[in-house]
Structure 1
Amino acid sequence: MSDPVTLQQLLDDAAFLSFEHQLHLADQLGEHSWDVDLERGRFAFRAAASGAGPLLAQAPSGELVAHRVHLLGTAAPGPRSWLWSWANPSGFGEDTTDLARWLRDFGDRFAVPELVRAEVPFAELPLSEPDAGHAVGAVIDVAKAASQRWWSYNGDAGGGTRAAFLLEHPAFELPAPDGLRVARVLTERLFAGGIADHRRAVAAYASGRGLQQRWEPGHTGARLTAHGVDLRVRFDEQGRIGGVQGQASPA
């Protein structure tokens, strides 16, 4: 067995990079609808009558179909629990549950019991609020950090149940990092809370975005640089982000 990893560590690893992907996808899709056919392994976004983002506005017939769709599972308010797709009695196909099963193996290898158990009560997940929406968000971020697949969607499955998907399509890729965007990601994501180790979260984000990291003695600050990015992240005595300062010139 490899060295253990906690669910909270995976959440910290995903915090900023997941948030940036969410921002980018929202900007690109704009107003939209979606539908999924799990028997065919098909997930599609469709442009709304008005307000479609550039990705859908340029798509043929106003529709964009994901190259791959991975159903992670569902969070239901009735039992107040998360259910992995490979354990769902509906019996989804292997092509749509293969990533969830890979995560089960990851959980077994790194001693993350929440990834191995078929069903996990909301009360046993690190949630700010024990409901279906927050449960789906947490599991999606854990799955992103473990698999390094960063495009997600969660949708209404009826009756208050939320379904979680990871999607693959080359059109979703992030552009090169930009100083203003990086500063926005680091500051806005803090308001959502849920980050236990801010230094770990910043380091994981910088690594994921290809930013050079220069840490100050005692880890009181970190300078993040790349073409068009030159920022200093300051940490307070409790190790929390205390400010983001620096040059944010366009790339």
Structure 2
Amino acid sequence: MTELTFQNIVDDGAILFLETHHMQDDRFEEWGYERWHTADQFASVEFHFPGRSSKHLQTAFVGTSGPGPKTFLWAWANPNVAATPAQKAVFDQVVAFGRHYGIEELTSGEVPFESIVPAFADEEFRLSAEKAGSTLVAFKIATAVKMITGRANHFTSDIGRGSMAVVAYNHGSLELGPPSALTFQMRFMEAVAAGMIEDHRRAVESYARFRLQTPVTEPSPGTLEVTFDDGQATIAFDENNRLTTMNASLTGLPSS
């Protein structure tokens, strides 16, 4: 069996996750998003847009990251959550995947922050990033669920005292447009700066495979080129596959 870790999955999907995340934010802002509401433990979420019809979406509640206990609690392990069919379908896929590859973060009901963000083992880092850490954990979990289940969209929200809820769903009005060299550059740098990815080269190669459905080229050892309709990005890595330099050239707008 090929060895696969939780972080590998996050590396594979982080750039695509952030691209989707910002697309959703932009679309909600365009629609005049005001607030969300759930009356059934995130089995469904209603998004309110003044002057427009509210959107009531069937969702799958994934779980919560809490800076108090410093753990992520999967919804299937929460005794206060009654699993819906949509939730059970997500849980079954995630847990089965985790068992197949021996990934404890996907099979343990409650996962310590430091298992998801190893830097949290450093007390100085942990104390300086409690709130940000809860968000980072939520984003990493949402990325893994997206990659494993294929649910294209996600919703993360502060539910009080710094805890973040993670919800997965699909919605036809929230689909990505054509890939763009500029968008790739911004989201890749965001993933690096936020600490979402560890193997930067793997993240780039996986994005090209999943989003562009084309392999990258390697013009010289340790350098990758990623080609888009509107330009090209050239990225250099060190011996640990971490970013050293990136240059992007834009040639025009992506075709629609």
TM-score (norm 1): 0.84
* Preserved contact between residue 37 and residue 46 of structure 2 (Cα < 8 Å): yes
1:197 aligns with 2:199: yes
Moved segments of 4+, more than 6 Å: none
**Deviations along 1:62-114, whole A, 9 cap, x unmatched?**
x2222x31111112333322111111111322324221232111100111011
Structure 2 residue aligned with 1:52: none
**Pair 1:215-2:217 in alignment:** yes
User: Distance between the aligned counterparts of 2:104 and 2:218, measured in 1?
Assistant: 36
1:217 Cα deviation after fit: 5.7
Quote how far apart the aligned CAs of 1:171 are.
Answer: 0.6
Q: Shift of residue 228 of structure 1? A: 2.5
Corresponding residue for 2:73?
83
1:167 to partner: Cα distance: 1.8
SS in 2 for 1:209: helix
Q: Partner residue of 2:63?
A: 73
1:13 maps onto 2:12 in alignment = yes
Residue 94 of structure 1 pairs with residue 84 of structure 2: yes
Partner SS state of residue 169, structure 1? coil
Aligned counterpart for 2:247 among listed residues 230, 244, 248: 244
What SS is found at the alignment partner of 1:65?
strand
Choose the corresponding residue for 2:152, options 133, 150, 160: 150
Larger strand proportion of the pair? 1
**Percent of residue pairs identical:** 26
Could you tell me whether the CA contact under 8 Å between 1:179 and 1:230 is conserved in 2? yes
CA distance in 2, matches of 1:243, 1:97: 40
Q: Is the 8 A contact 1:211 1:225 kept in 2?
A: no
Residues 81, 120 of structure 1: 8 Å contact kept: yes
Contact 1:211 1:224 in 2 (8 A): no
2 CA distance for matches of 1:219 and 1:45? 48
Unpaired runs of 5+ in structure 2?
A: 121-125
Contact 1:4 1:110 in 2 (8 A): yes
Consecutive unaligned residues in structure 1, runs of 5 or more: 49-56
**Equivalent position SS for 2:81:** coil
- Is the aligned partner of 1:107 residue 2:101? no
The total of aligned residue pairs comes to 238
The one-letter code of the counterpart of 1:13 is D
User: Kindly tell me: are residues 39 and 126 of structure 1, through their superposed partners in 2, closer, same or farther at Cα, counting changes over 3 Å?
Assistant: closer
Note the C-alpha offset of 1:127.
Answer: 4.9
- 1:3 to partner: Cα distance: 2.6
Equivalent position of 1:116 in the other structure: 107
* TM-score, structure 2 normalization: 0.82
| Aligned amino acid, residue 126 of structure 1 | V
Are the equivalent residues in 2 in contact too, given 1:215–1:222 (CA < 8 A)? yes
Query: What value does the CA root-mean-square deviation take over the aligned residues?
Result: 2.4
User: 1:210 is matched by which residue type in structure 2?
Assistant: L
The answer to whether the 8 Å contact 1:86/1:101 transfers is no
What is the aligned partner in structure 2 of residue 54 from structure 1?
none
- The offset of 1:47, in angstroms, is 2.2
CA contact (8 A) 2:64 2:73 kept: yes
